[in-house]
Amino acid sequence: MITLSDIRFSEIFAQRPMDMRFPSIAAMERAAQRRTPKFAWDYTSGGIGDEQGRARNISAFHDIRFMPQYLREIPPVDLTTEILGQTHAAPFAPGPVGLTGLMWPNAPLHIMRAAASHGLPSGLSSVATSSLEEGGEILGRNLWFQLYPMKDEAAEQDILKRFEAVGGEVLLVTVDVPGQTRRARDVGNGLAVPPRQDWRTWARGAMRPRWAVETFFNGMPSFKTVERYNAGDTAQNAFDFLKEIFYGHCDIEKLKKYREWWPGKIVVKGLLSLEDVRTAMDVGIDGVIVSNHGGRQLDAAPTAVEVLPQIRQLVGGKMAVLADGGVRTGLDIAKYLALGADFVLLGRPMVFAVCAAGPEGPPHAIEILKQELSTTLNQIGCPDYRDLAKFVFHP
């Protein structure tokens, strides 16, 4: 006779198919919060100020609607896309996110492997906890590297040589972090890398045993791409080290240098104003990522949804237009594409996925989004996502 004490509910839950455990990105987000310590979760999910900007990134999608057309012939949906001289299986991909190894051990590797398995590129941050060499081994030319401007130009040029050596083609230059920020959640948690070794950290880690065990066996995270440029004490708080090597502000002269140094494609990440986009075009930049950095830099910044149509109209077909911020569903991706984006990058959803389910999470998240996007296109009667603008409903 089986009693309740014989049933291990966690094992039964873990054996359920991924679709039943995590039918949506929202389900993964809820699971991720349960599995990660508060200081890691707050860094992952939080914004700056009152976090109204972060909330607007999500709510900005709500008023965009499509007019379906049913009585027409609808060929099979094809998500294949060409952008920045590359061909990919869908018009979206994981974007660069820093410090992901604190959220879940080896998170960048799991995310990049998932992208490779789905025929997609993946962004890797300068402050990721996996190196660009590791990323190059997984993705080759489909590794998109995000560069934060550095104080030492020799170090910048060395990083670009390393990126070129692994086959990289697309460089993402982030310009929307011109200085230090103050995020209340991180300040209140005393966020540090490696995590502070005090009773609070130990207590919070103990409350998330799976995270604690994985971190114990994989080691504390570090910024593997840039740590070689640390001339000081390698044991210091890594955030202090980052303050020493990163310059922050990227003006037009700095951008011109990157254009001179880098032989491949350059995409400027974090533009919202038309004036900045014009400047990028004048410098010969290949694309822009319309983004407010996930609501993490300026709480009063407009959302990508609000400014994307004007930017699309300005550039026409002269450069690639990408967007990020607030995406939680394939329908959200469709709305970005309808507003003028050629491609969409995903930050938090991929982190939620790896925190929720480890290595199996990111490939499942990508599959969810591909299916939701295909379903949306079928339901609208739009087999080619490039035609989505024609189906936007204007009451």
Give SS3 for 363. helix
Give SS3 for 327. coil
> Going edge to edge, which strands form the sheet with 143-147?
92-94, 343-346, 320-324, 287-290, 265-271, 170-174, 143-147, 122-125
Q: Enumerate the β-bridge partners of residue 283.
A: none
**Which residues are within 8 A (CB) of 1 and not within 5 positions of it... i.e. 6 or more apart?**
none
Q: Enumerate the β-bridge partners of residue 178.
A: none
Contact 376/369 with Cβ under 8 angstroms?
A: no
Q: Which of 88, 110, 118, 293 is catalytic?
A: 293
249 has catalytic annotation: no
**How many C-beta neighbours within 10 Å does residue 339 have?**
24
Q: Give the amino acid at 8.
A: R
Whole-angstrom CA distances from 34 to 21, 112, 199, 339, 356 are 14, 24, 20, 35, 8
CA separation for the pair 272, 289 (Å, rounded): 9
Catalytic sites, residue numbers: 293
